[in-house]
Structure 1
Amino acid sequence: MRKVALITASASGLAVAFSRQLAQDGFNLVLNYRKNKSGCEQLAQTLEHHYAIDTLVHQADMTQKQDIEQLVDATKEHFGRIDILIHSAGPFIFQRKRLTEYADHEWGEMIDGNLTSAFYLFRKIIPLMRPHGFGRIVTIGFDRIEQAPGWGYRSAYAAAKVGLASLTKTVAIEERENGITANMICPGDIRGAKKEAPMPLLQMEGYRTPVGGDLAAMISFLVKPEARFVTGNILSLTNGEDVLGHYDSGKKEVFDPIAFEIGTMVYVLPWNKVATVTDRLDRVNRRSLYTVQTADQEAQFTVDQLEELT
Structure 2
Amino acid sequence: MLAVVTGSNRGLGWHVAHQLAEKGYHVIAAARQHHQALEVARSIRQQGGDASPFALDVANGEQIIELASWITELFGGVEVLVNNAGIFVDQGQSLTDIELEAWNNTLAVNLTGAMLMCKYMLPLMRSGGYGRIVNVSSGYGSLQESGGLQAAYRVSKAGMNGLTRVLAAEVEGDNIKVNSVCPGWVRTDMGGSEASRDPAESAQWITWAATLDDDGPNGEFLRDGKPIPL
Pair in the same fold by TM > 0.5 = yes
Alignment partner, residue 223 of structure 1: 210
Alignment partner, residue 49 of structure 1: 46
Alpha-carbon distance between aligned partners in 2 of 1:95 and 1:147, rounded to the nearest angstrom: 18
Q: 1:214 to 1:103 in 2, by over 3 A?
A: same
Alpha-carbon distance between aligned partners in 1 of 2:14 and 2:214, rounded to the nearest angstrom: 23
Does structure 2 retain, via aligned residues, the 8 Å contact 1:188–1:238? Answer: no
Alignment partner, residue 235 of structure 1: 222
Does structure 2 retain, via aligned residues, the 8 Å contact 1:189–1:238? Answer: no
The structure 1 residue matched to 2:8, chosen from 7, 10, 14, is 10
Q: How many residues align?
A: 223
Kindly provide the amino acid, as one letter, of the partner of residue 211 in structure 1. D
Cα deviations across residues 64-94 of structure 1 (Å, max 9, x unaligned)?
2112222222222222211100000111115
Alpha-carbon distance between aligned partners in 1 of 2:172 and 2:178, rounded to the nearest angstrom: 9
Kindly provide the amino acid, as one letter, of the partner of residue 69 in structure 1. I
SS in 2 for 1:137: strand
Alignment partner, residue 87 of structure 2: 91
Alpha-carbon distance between aligned partners in 1 of 2:29 and 2:122, rounded to the nearest angstrom: 18
Select the structure that is richer in helix: 2
Does structure 2 retain, via aligned residues, the 8 Å contact 1:143–1:238? Answer: no
Within 5 Å, give how 1:156-195 maps onto structure 2: 156-192=152-188
Residue 148 of structure 1 and its aligned partner are, at CA, apart by 5.0
Alignment partner, residue 138 of structure 2: 142
| Comparing 230-239 and 155-164, the one that deviates more | 230-239
Alignment partner, residue 60 of structure 2: 64
SS in 1 for 2:142: helix
Residue 224 of structure 1 and its aligned partner are, at CA, apart by 3.0
SS in 2 for 1:226: coil
Kindly provide the amino acid, as one letter, of the partner of residue 59 in structure 1. A
Alpha-carbon distance between aligned partners in 2 of 1:33 and 1:224, rounded to the nearest angstrom: 22
Residue 220 of structure 1 and its aligned partner are, at CA, apart by 3.2
| 4+ residue runs over 6 A deviation | none
Alpha-carbon distance between aligned partners in 2 of 1:70 and 1:56, rounded to the nearest angstrom: 15
The structure 2 residue matched to 1:210, chosen from 188, 197, 205, is 197
Q: 1:127 to 1:156 in 2, by over 3 A?
A: same
Alpha-carbon distance between aligned partners in 2 of 1:32 and 1:25, rounded to the nearest angstrom: 18
Structure 2 length-normalised TM = 0.87
Alpha-carbon distance between aligned partners in 1 of 2:210 and 2:203, rounded to the nearest angstrom: 11
Does structure 2 retain, via aligned residues, the 8 Å contact 1:25–1:220? Answer: no
Does structure 2 retain, via aligned residues, the 8 Å contact 1:88–1:140? Answer: yes
Alignment partner, residue 151 of structure 2: 155
| Comparing 174-183 and 67-76, the one that deviates more | 67-76
Q: 1:72 to 1:228 in 2, by over 3 A?
A: farther
Structure 1 length-normalised TM = 0.66
Alpha-carbon distance between aligned partners in 2 of 1:234 and 1:175, rounded to the nearest angstrom: 17
Q: 1:96 to 1:210 in 2, by over 3 A?
A: closer
Is residue 36 of structure 2 the alignment partner of residue 39 of structure 1? yes
SS in 2 for 1:109: helix
**Structure 2 stretches of 5 or more lacking a match?**
none
The structure 2 residue matched to 1:133, chosen from 129, 135, 147, is 129
SS in 1 for 2:171: helix
Alpha-carbon distance between aligned partners in 2 of 1:23 and 1:238, rounded to the nearest angstrom: 21
Alpha-carbon distance between aligned partners in 2 of 1:192 and 1:224, rounded to the nearest angstrom: 23
